[in-house]
Structure 1
Amino acid sequence: MIYIRSLAYNIVFFTNLIALLIAATPTFFMRRHGIIYFAKLWGLSSQWWLEKICGTKVEFRGLEKLPKGGFLIGSKHQSTWETCRLMPIVPDPAFILKKELQYIPVFGWFTRVGEMIAVDRSTGAQAIPLMMQQARRAIDEGRQIIIFPEGTRRPVDAPPNYKFGIARIYDELKVPCVPVALNAGLFWPRRKFLRFPGKIIVEILDPIPAGLSPPDFLARLQNDIETATNRLVAEGRADPVYQASRR
C-alpha cells in the first residue's frame, strides 16, 4: 500500500506543480509578489495532498519566534519537502539557489520573476560579491532569505556538513539568523519516491542575534540545528504510525 500511495502522490505532486505553473503564467509579467503567492500555494497544496494520500501530517513549532522584517533562515535540508513547504511560513521568502536552476524551462524563469538569489559558480571569485549584492537588496526590502547551510540534501543520520558560506552572509548582512530543525527525511526520503505516513515536525529555534564572529556563529548554528534535528528524528521514529509503515 505504501508503494501505491507513494506513486499516486508523486503523480499528483507533479501534476499540481504543472497546473500551478500554467495558472501562474500571467505573473511572469508582474512583480515578484504574484509568483510568490503561487509558490506558497504550491507548498500548501502539496502538503494537503501528502496528508490526504499518504497520511503524512505536519506540525510547526515555534513560529512565534520568527522576527519581523528581513532576516536569515538557516534550515536543515533532508528532502524536497522543505524546499516548497518552508515558503508559506514567512511573508516574502527569497531562496539562495544555484544559477543552473534558473535555466530550467518555466520553473527557472519563475525563480527569476520571484527574484530568488542565484549563485553563479562559473564566475569564480565574483560569485560571492554578486550574490551578496542580491542578498543585501533582499534584506533592505524586508525579505526573509532561506538558506540550506549544508548546500544540498543530506540523508537522515548523515554526519553534518555545514559550509562556511552562510557565515559569510551572516557577517556581511548583520541581521539575525533563525535556525530551523526538522525530520522530513524520515517521511520523504532523499532521492526516493516513497512517502511514509506519520508527522513531519518542523521546529523554529531561537534566533541567533547579529554580531557573532563567523566561526562562532557557524558553530552555534550547527549545534542548535543538529541537536534539535536529532531529537525530532528520534521523536518521529517513535511515532507508532511511522513504525507500523516500516514493518
Structure 2
Amino acid sequence: MLRWARSVLFVGQMYAMMAIMAVFFTPWAIFDRRGAYAGVRTYCRYVRWTARWMVGLRTEVRGRVPVEEVLIGSKHQSFLDIILIVSVVPRPKFIMKKELGRAPILGWYAKRIGCVAVDRGRRRAAMRQMVEGVRHGDAPPRQLIIYPQGTRVAPGVKAPYKIGTAVLYEETGQPCVPAATNVGVFWPRKGILRKPGLAVVEFLEPIPPGLPAETFMARLEQVVETRSDALMAEAGFDPRPPGRESAEES
C-alpha cells in the first residue's frame, strides 16, 4: 500500500512539474531552440532525481553517450527509457507516433526539438513521412532516435523489429548506435506502480554504415535483445519465461 501511495505521489508531481517547467522554459524555447533542449533535458533529469528519493528507483546510463550525428536504435519499454536518453543526449529527436504531436506540452516540445511524427496505421505513408521528415526537418542533424519495434514492449514479451529502422539507416548513411534497457521491470508501459531498483539504458557499440538491410536488422536485433535480456536478468527478472506472449500495440 505504501509503495502504491508513493507511486501516485511521484506520478502526480511528475506531470505537475512538466506543466511548471513548460511555463518557465517556453518563452526561451519559442525564440531559441536551445531553450527547448534545455527544458526537456532539465525535466528529464528532475524526473530521474525524484524517482530516486520518492520511489527508490535509481537510474543509470551506461556506455558511451552519442554526441555526434548518428541514428540510435533503442529498445522501448516505457516512458522512462525516453527520459534517460533525453537526459544525456545533447540534441535528441525521435521518430514518434502522430498522436503524440497533439499531446499538451509534450507535443509542442517534441516538435520544437525536431521530432518526426508518423502515422503508424498507414505503413507506406508512414515510411514517406519518416524519410521526408528526416530529410527536410528544420532541427539540427544530430541524434535521431527510433524504436525498431515501433511501440513499447513489456519485459518478457516478443515483438518483431520493423523495416523502418533499416530505411533510415540506408537513407542517412550514418552509424547506428544500438541501445538496450531494462526500465520496464520497474516502470511499466501502463499503470501507476513504480518499483525500487536500478533502471538502466545502455548504449552499445555502433553498427557501421553500409551494411545490407537484412544484415543490419539481424545484427541490431541480436545485440539489443541479448543485452536487454542481460540487463533484465541483472534486475532479477527472467526475460525468457515459458510461453512468452506477443506484444500488443500501445
> Quick check: TM above 0.5?
yes
Q: Secondary structure at the match of 1:215?
A: helix
Q: TM-score, normalised by structure 2?
A: 0.87
Taking the aligned partners of 1:136 and 1:59, their CA distance within structure 2 comes to 32
Q: Secondary structure at the match of 1:200?
A: strand
Structure 2 counterparts to residues 139-150 of structure 1, below 5 A: 141-150=140-149
Alignment partner of 1:104 is 2:107: no
Query: Which has the larger share of helix?
Result: 1
Structure 2 counterparts to residues 1-247 of structure 1, below 5 A: 1-63=2-64, 66=66, 68-120=67-119, 125-137=124-136, 141-237=140-236
Q: Secondary structure at the match of 2:43?
A: helix
Q: TM-score, normalised by structure 1?
A: 0.88
Query: Which one-letter code corresponds to 2:157 in the other structure?
Result: A
| Structure 2: runs of 5+ lacking an equivalent | 238-250
Offset of 1:139 from its aligned partner? 10
Q: 1:124 to 1:63 in 2, by over 3 A?
A: closer
| Structure 1: runs of 5+ lacking an equivalent | 239-247
Query: Which one-letter code corresponds to 1:21 in the other structure?
Result: A
8 Å Cα contact 1:70-1:140 kept in structure 2: no
Q: Secondary structure at the match of 2:68?
A: coil
Query: Which one-letter code corresponds to 1:187 in the other structure?
Result: F
Aligned identity (percent) is: 36
Moved more, 15-24 or 114-123: 114-123
Offset of 1:47 from its aligned partner? 0.6
Moved more, 31-40 or 97-106: 97-106
8 Å Cα contact 2:84-2:201 kept in structure 1: no
Offset of 1:177 from its aligned partner? 0.5
Q: Secondary structure at the match of 1:63?
A: coil
The two structures, once aligned, show a CA RMSD in angstroms of 2.1
8 Å Cα contact 2:41-2:86 kept in structure 1: yes
